[in-house]
Structure 1
C-alpha cells in the first residue's frame, strides 16, 4: 500500500511563480484526505518552499535544502545537519565563483543565506541577490566560524563540473556535489553538502514518524538531485521533462510538469492501492 507521495518542486510540482495547477492541486488534496500523506522534498530553502505549500493548501512535512533540513507541518524544525565551509572556501574563490551558504532562518532568525563578499559576482549571482535582498546577508565567509546546511554557487556548466572534480580530488568523499540547471536562465547551480545528505536521507526522518517502509512511498522528481529518493522508494517516478538518467532509473515516467504530470502519479497510486488486500 502506498501511504506517502514525496514530491520535488521545481520541474515537478511547482509551476512559474510557485503556482500549482488546479487539477494537480485537487488530485493531491483528494489522495491526502484519503490517507496518502503528501510530503515535499526539494533543494529549495524553506521560505520559498512555503510559497508552494501555501498554494497547495495542505499542512505537510517538507524536506528542504536537499535533505539537510526537515520541517514539520507546524513549521518547527525536526532535523537539521550543518557543516563548516572553511575546508573548501579557498577553492571556490580560486575558481572565480561566489559561495552561497544556507541557514535555517525560520528557526534562528536573520538571513536565509549568506553570500561571500570577497569576489565580484557573475550575472546570475547578482540577479539572485537582487531578487532576495530582504533575505540575504553579504559577508566575508572566511571570517565566519558559523556552520551551514548547504552551500552552492552559480556558474556555467563547465565551471561547475571543474569545481566538482576539484573538490572530489581535494576532499575525497567528504562532500557531495550536484549540478542542476537554473530553470529560468542558461546558468547552472552547484549544490555542495555533506556526502551523506540527500533527499532520501531527509525523507527517512519522516518515514520514522509514520512508521512506514520504502515500499509505502512513491517519490517523484525531475533532476539528478532526486535520484536518491526516486531509486530508494518502493515506487519511483520521473517527470517526462526530467533528466534522461533519472527517467532511466525510475520505475515509470509520468507526464510533463507543464501538463499535470503529477495527476498521472496520483492515478497510479489509486490503482495500486485498489489492488492491495484490505
Structure 2
C-alpha cells in the first residue's frame, strides 16, 4: 500500500470516528433535554417500596426522606405503590407524611391513609379462588390470602412468623398491626370476605410452574411476581398501572404528569403508564427496558437522585 493511500484511509477513519462521537454526544444531549422536559411536567410521583424506596436492609435513607419532603413543598404529590397490605404501610405514611391515597396489593386496592378508607378495589373471583386454594392444599404449598381485615395462611407458612415479627415492631411504634390467622380445613374462614390477593411461595420452580400452567387456564385470574419463588395472584385486570391510573383520574391529571419508579416485574405496568418512568439501578434488565431513565441503586438513594436531577427545582 502506498504511503499516501494509507494516510488517506487513516484520515478518513479519524473523521468518521469524530463524526460518530459527535452523533453520540448529540444523541445524549437530546435525551437529556427529553428527560428534563418530562421531569418538569410531573405533578405526582408514585414509588415502589421494596428495592426502590427502601435500601436492601429495608431502611429509609435521609436523602429519600428529604427529596420527598421537598416534593411536597413544591406541590408535587408523592405516594407509594406496593404489593403489601394497607395495614403494613402505617410506618411509611407517617414518616413520609403521605396524605395522597396509596396503591396496595399490586393495584387491587387504593387506600386513603388520612380517612382510613378504601377508595377503589377489585377483589378476586370467589369460584376461581376456591379452586386455587384446593390446589394449594393438594400440593401442600405455602400459601395465604390478603384482605383488608384478617389475612389467612397455611398452618406451616413461614409468613406467619414474618408478620408476627412485623406486628411486634408495629406495636412498639404505636402503629396498626396486621391481623393474621390460619386456614381451617375447607377454607370456610374466608366465606363472604373480599380477598384481593393469593400468595403462593415455593423454592421448587417445578411446583411453581404447575400453578403458572393452571393460571393460564383461568378466565378472571392473573398473576405477577414481586420476588423469586413467589406468585402474586389476583383478578386479571389488577396491576400497579391500574392503581396509578385510578389515582391519576382522581386528581384529574394526565399520564405525562406522573412519574413512576420501580425495580421489579410487578412495577412494569405503572412504568408503562407514566409519562416519566424511572427504573432503579438494581432493577431487573427487563424492567429497565420499560423505563425512560435508569437511576442509581436503592442503596444509593436512586429515588432521591432522580427526583433532584429532573423533577425538583
Moved more, 74-83 or 127-136: 127-136
Residue 128 of structure 1 is matched in structure 2 by 162
Distance in 2 (alpha carbons) for counterparts of 1:157 and 1:247? 27
Q: Which residue of 1 aligns with 2:221?
A: 175
Mark the CA change 1:224 to 1:90 in structure 2 (over 3 Å): closer, same or farther: same
- Indicate yes or no: 2:245 matched with 1:204: yes
TM-score by length of 1: 0.84
Residue range with higher mean Cα deviation, 142-151 or 189-198: 142-151
Cα offset, 1:71, TM superposition:
1.1
Deviations 1:3-59 (A, max 9, x none): 111000000002367531111111111012102110111111112222222222332
Deviation at 1:244, TM superposition (A): 1.1
Alpha-carbon offset, residue 130 of structure 1: 4.7
Higher strand share: 1
Q: Which has the larger radius of gyration?
A: 2
Following the alignment from structure 1 to structure 2, what is the Cα–Cα distance between the partners of residues 197 and 62?
Answer: 15
1:99 to 143, 149, 155: 143
- Answer whether contact 2:44 2:258 (CA < 8 A) is retained: yes
Q: Contact 1:21–1:260 at 8 Å: present in 2 too? A: yes
Equivalent in 149, 157, 165 of residue 196 of structure 2: 149
More displaced 10-residue stretch of structure 1: 13-22 or 125-134: 125-134
8 Å contact from structure 1 (residues 160, 179) kept in 2: no
Partner secondary structure for residue 99 of structure 1: strand
Deviation digits for residues 86-119 of structure 1 (CA, Å, limit 9, x no counterpart): 13222222332132111112xxxxx2x11144xx
CA contact (8 A) 2:215 2:222 kept: no
- CA distance in 2 between partners of 1:57 and 1:16 (Å): 22
Give 5+ residue unaligned stretches, structure 2.
1-40, 168-177
> Which sits farther off after the overlay, 255-264 or 144-153?
144-153
Rounded Cα–Cα distance in structure 2 between residues aligned with 1:16 and 1:57: 22
Kept in 1, the 8 Å contact 2:153–2:160? The answer is no
- Cα distance in 2 for residues equivalent to 1:129 and 1:47: 11
C-alpha separation in 1, matches of 2:283 and 2:132 = 31
Q: Is the 8 A contact 1:18 1:55 kept in 2?
A: no
Q: What is the TM-score when the length of structure 2 is the normalising length?
A: 0.75
Q: Kindly state the Cα deviation for residue 228 of structure 1 after the two structures are TM-superposed.
A: 0.2
CA distance in 1, matches of 2:209, 2:306: 33
Gaps in structure 1 of 5+ consecutive residues: 106-110, 183-187
| Count of residues paired in the alignment | 255
- Alpha-carbon RMSD across the aligned residues, in angstroms, is 2.2
Q: Which residue of 1 aligns with 2:152?
A: 114
Q: Distance in 2 between matches of 1:17 and 1:250?
A: 25
